[in-house]
């Protein structure tokens, strides 16, 4: 893989886009210090220019290249969760391009744990700005094939690191104020953060920095999507069959009906397993020309907070094409 890593690093230095795996989802990477390269991310994704990007760095020792006024809480969280699915929002260094921060005085930074991502970051020797490698607002990619299917020739190179281990985006924590705030939930939970911080952080308010993935409609399939209670799922399936429609279902239970118009995908009843599979299953069903997709509503507790966040945004943005 070393030859591919060297090629990918050289492309990044040349201002090109490289898609690469992280433990969360595949990222669409560009040299974070090169505004022209970063602008290619927005063009490829169709992403609004004022939406900030996350800078991926090789290790916590690179923090001061990108952030200033770094609080002790940042070092503590980095020690506990990096490499891993946690993004820290900090005051930016003056040299960080506006294209990366959306014109804000803050920057999001993380160290991914995927070995291929770390190998690339060390070979590149700098920060890689990388949102998810998909069209803006659509379901995030968790395999190299997902990236190829959606972005194709817009990317100079796609590093294939297999399916992503976590499957949904990182937790984002704002450390720019006197207290830490969660701006996007992820698989590093509020309880996990609280054990390090000594206080469970709450959600940020209107004055919080803008961050990736915080719009009401996001992570969405083009097929209309509904989130239903378990007892309503079968009702929705019967309703679709009565209208002679093909319907997709994602649920922990096995399909109780036998009909070729039902495309049923069984998913884990545990939060980590559900998170791992949900984007891939949504992409699968979205490609089949179904009338509707229904997902069995998960439990409403802290363990499922990140999954429920993504599902609610996916429902809000679904059916747009």
Q: pLDDT tens, 31-59?
A: 999 999 999 999 999 988 888 999 999 99
Tokens of 31: 């040299």
β-strand partners of 247: 262, 292
How much is the pTM? Answer: 0.95
Omega before 82 within 30 of 0, i.e. cis: no
Residue found under tokens 């291929």: 116
Residue 274 burial class via C-beta count within 10 angstroms: exposed 0-12, middle 13-18, buried 19 and up: buried
Q: How far apart are CA 156 and CA 7, in angstroms?
A: 10
Residue spans per domain, the chain:
2-203, 225-317
Alpha-carbon distance values, 297 to 31, 119, 141, 203, 234 (Å) = 39, 38, 22, 22, 13
Confidence label for 321 from pLDDT (cuts 50, 70 and 90): low
- Rounded to 5°, angle at Cα 167 from 8 and 138: 80
The fold for domain 225-317 equals: Rossmann fold (3.40.50)
Answer whether CATH 3.90.870.10 is correct for domain 2-203: yes
Pick from 151, 131, 137: nearest CA to 211: 131
- Model confidence pLDDT, tens digit, residues 78-121: 999 999 999 999 999 999 999 999 999 999 999 999 999 999 99
């Amino acid at each position: 893989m070393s030859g591919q890593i060297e090629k990918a690093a050289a492309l990044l230095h040349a201002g090109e886009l490289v898609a690469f795996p992280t433990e969360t989802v595949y990222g669409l990477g560009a040299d974070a210090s090169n505004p022209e390269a970063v602008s290619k991310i927005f063009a490829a994704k169709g992403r609004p220019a004022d939406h900030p990007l996350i800078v991926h760095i090789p290790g916590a020792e690179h923090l001061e290249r990108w952030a200033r006024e770094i609080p002790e809480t940042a070092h503590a969280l980095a020690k506990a969760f990096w490499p891993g699915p946690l993004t820290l929002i900090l005051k930016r260094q003056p040299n960080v391009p506006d294209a990366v921060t959306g014109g804000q005085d803050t920057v999001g930074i993380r160290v991914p744990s995927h070995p291929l991502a770390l190998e690339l970051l060390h070979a590149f020797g700098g920060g890689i700005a990388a949102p998810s490698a998909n069209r803006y607002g659509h379901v995030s990619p968790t395999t190299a094939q997902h990236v190829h299917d959606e972005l194709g020739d817009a990317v100079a190179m796609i590093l294939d690191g297999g399916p992503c281990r976590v499957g949904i985006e990182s937790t984002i924590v704002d450390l720019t104020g006197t207290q830490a705030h969660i701006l996007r939930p992820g698989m590093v939970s509020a309880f996990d953060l609280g054990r390090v911080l000594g206080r469970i952080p709450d959600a940020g308010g209107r004055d919080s920095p803008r961050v990736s993935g915080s719009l009401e409609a996001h992570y969405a399939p083009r097929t209309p999507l509904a989130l239903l209670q378990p007892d309503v799922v079968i009702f929705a399936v019967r309703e679709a069959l009565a209208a002679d429609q093909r319907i997709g279902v994602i649920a922990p239970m096995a399909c109780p009906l036998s009909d070729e118009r039902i495309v049923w995908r069984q998913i884990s009843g545990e939060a980590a397993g559900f998170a791992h599979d949900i984007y891939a299953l949504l992409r699968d069903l979205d490609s089949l020309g179904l009338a509707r997709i229904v997902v069995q509503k998960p439990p409403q507790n802290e363990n499922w907070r990140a999954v429920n966040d993504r599902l609610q945004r996916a429902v809000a943005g679904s059916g747009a094409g």
